[in-house]
Every structure is written in structure tokens, then in C-alpha cells.
Amino acid sequence: MRRPHAAGRFPDAPMTSPSRRDLANAIRFLAIDAVQAANSGHPGMPMGMADIAEVLWNDYLKHNPANPAWPDRDRFILSNGHGSMLQYALLHLAGYDLPLDELKAFRKLGSKTPGHPENTHTAGIETTTGPLGQGLANAVGFALAEKLLAQRFNRDGHAIVDHRTWVFLGDGCLMEGISHEAASLAGTWGLNKLVAFWDDNHISIDGNTDGWFTDDTPARFEAYGWNVVRGVDGHDPVEIRTAIETALESSGKPTLICCRTTIGFGSPNKAGKESSHGSPLGKDEVQATRDALGWTHGAFEIPQPLYAGWRARDLAAAESAWNARFAAYKAAHGDAAAEFERRMGAELPGGFGADADAFIARLQQDGPVIASRKASQNAIEAFAPLLPELVGGSADLAHSNLTLWKGSKSVATDDPNANYIYSGVREFGMTAISNGLALHGGFIPYDATFLVFSDYARNAVRMSALMRVRAIHVYTHDSIGLGEDGPTHQPIEHLASLRYIPDNDVWRPCDAVESAVAWKAAIERADGPSCLVFSRQNLPHQPRSDAQLAAIARGGYVLKDSVGAPEVILVATGSEVGLAMQAAAQLGDGVRVVSMPSTDVFDRQDAAYREAVLPKACRKRVAIEAGVSDFWRKYVGLDGAVVGIDSFGASAPIEALLPHFGFTVDRVVAAAQAL
């Protein structure tokens, strides 16, 4: 028997006028059929959350399939991304550019329906999800972006930023520690436009969760400062609607809607069991489910009345109304409208590049001898007034990372110019929230911690790169040079690890000038993230010609050249560039010093440039960096030498640590002479 539906929406009638259950079953069977055809995937979650998704998408979600990127759309995020066929089914049924053939190609090479949703593949996918919990953290970033843009741009009678972020999440998302980090911040920031639906089905891959997930989740979220709607039947559209209406009335708090569901809903033999979680139902069970739910249509067959039911709402109307509101806003507040369009279009302010270059030139002239973390702060101080879209902060290390600047204003306020994020000790959540801010549009986010704690954030950094978002990850205290805190705080393998992430640019500058260039490069890079790595200790200023100054942006360049063809090449980054320059002075005129602030950027240069910097004819090469040595073999070969560190550090002042671990002029000279 079909369940009651929300009054006035779709009457319970024959297929010519589909019921809510019919509409939800369209999701279920598209998911069932796609997973069966692929012979892999997760049918259980789409089957369990179909009724929730149907109500949300047909009655509440503000979107336009004809223009998936319009600025004031609602954002829908599937944090439990293994249930990707739920989202693909929704996009297809709602009329997005996702034809049925793409669903039939689920999980196939080159399809728009990969195993987990990917924002770079499919129109309507706001963020790539799959690593559980990160979608929730991304959603917090989306909701924070909406809040900050509304504070900045809305005027009396002109609400041009007024949308919601809706996120689906499961038990697995809530087990991940990042959910605690993100949810706590969402409550602190009062993100009332954020609504999360918890798929409370008590099942994970290993079975019933009673043996490992017994949290009082509603109480937990109430403690975070959320509005919690308990005990919702996730298969009753009336209860779902009532819960959403309650969420819409929330003032000053995000909302968690706790939906009790049955995983694999409708499957006679696998509903409520882990067997429906991560495997196809099987041919016989697919047919049994069709019989149980009265679904008489073949595989991937959606009757026209169902398409009509899914597309009954005029989804373009919301965008049209917004366009009219924005036109009125533009007439009344032209400058603000132009700025909003610039920021949402991801365009940097005119003249930014020239202003940044002028700042860099002044630094080269002035030659400050400071720690690169201080140089980073100076760069923020110079660039942030030029970039109102720059927003960020630190994981409880503002005064160590030096991320504060004189214009910093906390995002926990209603200040129209709020721009600083105090994340607390939440490196993972902080980074994933940055990804959400970047994906939303209108912001260039940065976050910061010690380099050694990039381990906590690493999977979110990886997701930055996978999604190719413009996010800037700042890491200070970059080596054993931080000193007395000892090996727990001294990064060794971290630089190499971050460099091995595809599409992730890592910069480790040697002085204030390279630090400013690194910041400029990260800001201007529109197709991926950058990690900026800075020292605690003061670094010497390096002299440069205009040509050398311009070459920094190429990732690696000749800082000191030999007389004639080089006999030995010293390659160094960061704090070790000064060491290389001292060693070169002792080694004589046949030595070339290459500063390599970003190996990633250098590797993208054309072959002629790379050959000009590192000529193949010179095999006597020494790389110098206070990190693992193996990474540098790609530049020095097996016949070269690396002055690095392949052990953990120690607790002592820097003056004792550097010679203890061999970062001395004598060792570099000896390594070069031994070649």
C-alpha cells in the first residue's frame, strides 16, 4: 500500500498522476538497475533515502537544471557519496544534462557517473564526495560562504544572497572525527541556512552498528548548538515535510534532521541488512524488489508520467525571480553589484598582478632578513586589502603561523567585512571547510597550521587537488629548524608527501621575496590548490637581477651561476638555499646554485627552460633540503648526492640541531667534492 503524501503535491492515483512513492521508486530502480549493470556499487543507501530526496528535491530545493551554476541556487551535497546513484538519479529525473545512457554507464571509464560524485565530471555536482565526513565539512564551508556574502552584499530590500545548503549524511560520516570538527564550528558560527539529513539506518559495511556506533547523536548535535529534529520516519513524506518546515524556521542554528530509514528499502530479502550496502542486489532480488514495490517497468525504464511528475515544478522561475532582484540591486547599488559579479566569476581585481609585482620589487630592493613565516604575514598584509575575497585563518596557531593581519575580522561576527576564521585545533575540518568556501564561489580561502600537522589535514588537501579548487594551505615551522619542540613537531617526510599529490603546488621559499612570489602564484592559480611552506627561523635575503626575480614564478631558477658551464650544481629550497650559497662561495667559480621553491611548477616548464636550469651535461649535482632525501633523486640521479634527513629530529635549539644532522657548509662542500 502506498503511504500518504504531502497535501496538494501529487495525488495518490494511477500512473497517469504519480504518487510520491512512485516518484521515489524511480530513484530506487534507477539506482538498483545501474548498480546491477555495473556489477558494483551501493544500492542500499539510495533505496533508503529516496523518499527524503524526493520531498526535498520536488518541494524545496532551489535550483535550475538549465543553469546549474547560477549564484543564488541552493547547494545539495551528498556526504555519503558511496550512494552516488541517488544523486545521479535525481539529476537525471530533474532534467539536468545527464541522459539515461550515462546512468547505464555507471562506474564505466569516461562516464559522467563515476563511483562517487565528482564535481569536475557532472553538471549539478557541487563537490566531490566519498571520503566520509568531508561532504559535511564542505557543506559547512558552503554555508559559511553564504553567510559572509549575505553580510557583505545584501542591502535593505535587496537580498541577493539567500540560499540554503542541504547535506545528506550517514552513520559513517558521523563516525569520522571530521564530523565533530565541522559540526562544532557550524554551531559556533550559527549557520542557520545549513540543513543536514542523517540517514539513521544502523547499518554499515560490517553489519549492524550496535557494536561500534552507539552515540547519542541528537544530543551530540544539540551540544554543538544545532537545532535537532528527532525521530523522523524517513519513508513518510508528511513527516519529512514537517521536519523541513521546522528547519526553515530555525533562527541562528543549523539543523540536523534525524531520519530513521531502512537500508535497501523494498528489497524482500536484503532490506535492513548489510548485504544491500555495497553490492548489487542480484538478478533474482532485483525482480523480487520490483514485485514487492509494484514496479512493473523494465531496467532503466521510466514512464513519461514519472518524468512529468519530476519536472512539474517550474525550476527556472526561482532563477528568473533572482535575476529580476539582481537587476534592481544593480540599479540601486552598481558598485556592489559589479564587485559581486567579479567575485562570483572568480576574476581577480584589475591591477592585482601589477600591484603584487610592485610589492615584490620593493622587497627585492629592501632585502629584509626575516623568517619566511613573517614574510608570509607581510604578503598577506600587502595583498589582502587588494582582495576582499581572501578569507582564512589558522588552527589555533594564529600567532605562530602569523596569519592575522591588521584588517582581520572574525567570521563569528555579523561584520560585513568578516574575513578571519579561527578554526581551533581542527586541521582536517578547517581544510575541508576551505574547500567548501572555494567551491561555493566568491572567496579565495587560506588555512594554516604547522607543517607536521598537515598529516591531520592531508586527505582534505588531496581533495583540494582532486577537485582543482583554489585553496591556499599555509604550513609554517617547516623543518627540524623549529628546534626545541622536538621530533613530534619536526616535519621530515611532509614536503615530499605533499609534492606527491597530483595537481598540488608546493612552495618552500628561501626568503621574503620568494615568499611573496609564492603567495602571488597561489592567488593567481585558478585550477588547483597551493601549499605554502614557511620557516620559523630568519632567512638571509638573496640578491637577484630583474631576470632572476621574474624567474622565481617558474618554480626553479639559477640564483648564482658558474663561470662557464657548471661543473657542479647545488639545488636547494627554503632555509637551505642560504646554506647552498655559502657552500658555493667555498667551492669556487664552477658551481651553479639553483633555487627550487616549487618543484611542481618547475616540472611544468618547457623542456628548454628546464634544460637551461639543470643541463643534462652536468651530472655532478647536490640537492639540499631538510627533509627526506629520496625525493630529490629525480633531480640529482643515483650518481648525485642529497644532503637531507632520513631520521626523526630531536629536541634542542636550532644552533645545535643543524650541525648535529649535518646541515653545514662543510658537509655540502664535502658532498660536492666527493662526486
Which residues lie closer than 8 Å to 592 by C-beta, 6 or more apart? 558, 560, 561, 562, 566, 568, 569, 570, 584, 618
Burial class (CB in 10 A: 0-12, 13-18, 19+), 142: buried
- Angle at 199 (CA atoms; ends 195, 203), nearest 5 degrees: 155
Distance, CA of 207 to CA of 426 (rounded, Å): 30
Beta strands per DSSP E along 318-422? 370-371, 390-394, 420-422
Q: Tell me how far apart the alpha carbons of residues 576 and 584 are, in angstroms, rounded to a whole number.
A: 12
Pairing of strands 255-260, 370-371: unpaired
- What's the CA gap between 231 and 260, in Å, rounded? 7
In angstroms, rounded to a whole number, what is the distance separating the alpha carbons of residues 318 and 72?
9
Q: Return the C-alpha cell found at 265.
A: 528499502
Residue 262 grid cell? 531502512
Distance between CA atoms of residues 372 and 581, nearest Å? 17
Could you please report the per-residue DSSP string of 411-475?
Answer: TTS--TT--EEE--S-HHHHHHHHHHHHHHSS-EEEEEEEGGGHHHHHHHHHHHHHHT---EEEE
How far apart, in Å, are the Cα atoms of 281 and each of 26, 203, 265, 370?
16, 16, 12, 63
Identify which of 389, 80, 96, 429 has the alpha carbon closest to the alpha carbon of residue 88.
96
Quote the CA–CA distance of 187 and 166 in Å, as a whole number: 15
CA dist 481 and 483 (Å) reads 5
Q: Is 337 helix (H, G, I), strand (E, B) or coil?
A: helix
| Beta pairing, strands 538-539 & 370-371 | antiparallel
Nearest to 467 by CA among 496, 416, 503: 503
Q: Cα 341 to chain center, whole Å?
A: 23
CA–CA separation, 176 and 171 (whole Å): 9
Is residue 508 within 8 Å of residue 371, measured between CB atoms? no
Q: Which amino acids are annotated catalytic?
A: 427
Q: Residue with C-alpha cell 643543524?
A: 658
Cα(517)–Cα(471) distance, integer angstroms: 16
